[in-house]
């Protein structure tokens, strides 16, 4: 099955001191954000990413739970150019050592450069760009990981192209993300 991957990479854990499943602890770790892809049936699949966010959880004090922006991206990427292990780094952030429970990938409706990209999100088939409708411009995924003090992590978000992009007829396409997330 052909797939394309939009990866949010947050480099491999360097420390062995990963906290348990509790809330926050002191210190911070580095979160690197990147994209990667695998073959798909399209000539190109472009997405314009506004930002990447993660949710810090504090089970002992819910008022300490919060969303953190880990990358202000404002960039358009052809996911199909990011194949065979190629990764485009889209952000790096120091985040508090804590338990995280969710990830959000916020897309933009419009391209950041309309002279190059006719739409913010689109597919190219037969040399013709077709807008990719995204019902919610926020792609949400539950995923637990723990950032250790002085840690580094890699989180990869895998979009399944065959299940995520659907034709609605007459060269109209819709993105309903089917994701798998792997954290190392």
- 151 has pLDDT over 70: yes
Angle at 54 between CA 101 and CA 166, to 5 degrees: 90
Q: Report the pLDDT value the prediction gives residue 159, as an integer from 0 to 100.
A: 67
92 vs 15: which has the higher pLDDT: 92
Question: What is the pTM assigned to this prediction?
Answer: 0.75
pLDDT, mean of residues 101-109: 93
Lowest mean pLDDT among 15-19, 91-95, 141-145: 15-19
75 has pLDDT over 50 = yes
What count of other Cβ atoms lies within 10 Å of the Cβ of residue 26? 8
pLDDT reported for residue 127: 92
Q: Residue range 146-155: average pLDDT?
A: 89
Distance CA 103, CA 90 (A): 15
Q: Which of residues 144 and 161 earns the better pLDDT score? A: 144
The domain locations on the chain are 4-183
């Amino acid at each position: 099955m052909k797939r394309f991957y939009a990866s949010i990479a947050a480099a491999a854990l360097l420390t062995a001191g990963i906290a348990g499943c509790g809330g926050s602890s002191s210190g911070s770790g580095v979160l690197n954000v990147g994209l990667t892809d695998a073959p798909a049936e399209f000539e190109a699949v472009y997405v314009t990413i506004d930002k990447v966010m993660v949710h810090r959880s504090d089970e002992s004090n819910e008022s300490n739970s919060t969303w953190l922006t880990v990358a202000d991206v404002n960039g358009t990427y052809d996911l199909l150019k990011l194949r065979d292990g190629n990764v485009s780094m889209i952000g790096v952030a120091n985040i508090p050592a804590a338990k995280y429970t969710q990830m959000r990938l916020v897309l933009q409706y419009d391209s950041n450069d309309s002279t190059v990209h006719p739409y913010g999100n689109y597919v190219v088939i037969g040399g013709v760009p077709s807008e990719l409708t995204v019902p919610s411009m926020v792609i949400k995924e539950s995923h637990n990981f723990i950032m250790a003090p002085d840690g580094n992590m890699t989180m990869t978000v895998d979009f399944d192209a065959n299940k995520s992009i659907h034709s609605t007829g007459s060269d109209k396409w819709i993105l309903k993300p089917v994701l798998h997330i792997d954290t190392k």
